[in-house]
């Protein structure tokens, strides 16, 4: 469970797909909406995921780990084309922590 687009977000994974759900109206169980149905994540050798960010153009940024507790991978799913993109980084660091940054003029 997490927070995406200022809404509660839950992801459910099986051997065949990953679904991303958000609660559009906090506290209203009827407002749960399935946003994405991502196929064949396990076929990519990935497990242990977290939904990090949903872009305006309906691409989704996930954080996964390689099967067997391996390295962390960032994965971009394009819902319009149904494709997964796993970017490779030039420096292959053992430990990478990801944070989503949203620019704001309001101080926390």
**Residues near 79 by Cβ (< 8 Å), separated by ≥ 6?**
36, 58, 59, 60
> How buried is 66 (Cβ within 10 angstroms: 0-12 exposed, 13-18 middle, 19+ buried)?
middle
pLDDT of residue 32: 92
For residue range 77-107, list pLDDT tens digits in order. Answer: 898 888 888 887 665 555 556 666 666 767 6
pTM for this prediction? 0.71
39 contacts 81 by C-beta, under 8 angstroms: no
Q: Which tops the pLDDT comparison, 23 or 5?
A: 23
pLDDT of residue 69: 67
Alpha-carbon distance of 69 to 103, in angstroms, equals 33
In the block, residue with structure tokens 């960032």 = 74
For residue range 22-48, list pLDDT tens digits in order. Answer: 898 888 889 999 988 887 676 677 777
β pairing state of 17-23 and 32-39: antiparallel
pLDDT of residue 106: 73
């Amino acid at each position: 469970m997490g927070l995406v687009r200022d809404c509660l977000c839950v992801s459910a994974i099986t051997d065949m797909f990953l679904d991303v759900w958000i609660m559009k109206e906090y506290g209203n169980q009827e407002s749960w909406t399935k946003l994405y149905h991502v196929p064949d994540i396990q076929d990519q050798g990935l497990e242990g995921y977290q939904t990090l960010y949903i872009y305006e153009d309906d691409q989704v940024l996930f954080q996964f780990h390689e099967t067997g507790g391996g390295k962390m991978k960032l994965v971009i799913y394009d819902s319009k084309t149904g494709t997964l993109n796993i970017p490779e980084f030039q420096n292959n660091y053992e430990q990478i922590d990801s944070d989503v940054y949203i620019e704001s003029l309001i101080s926390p």
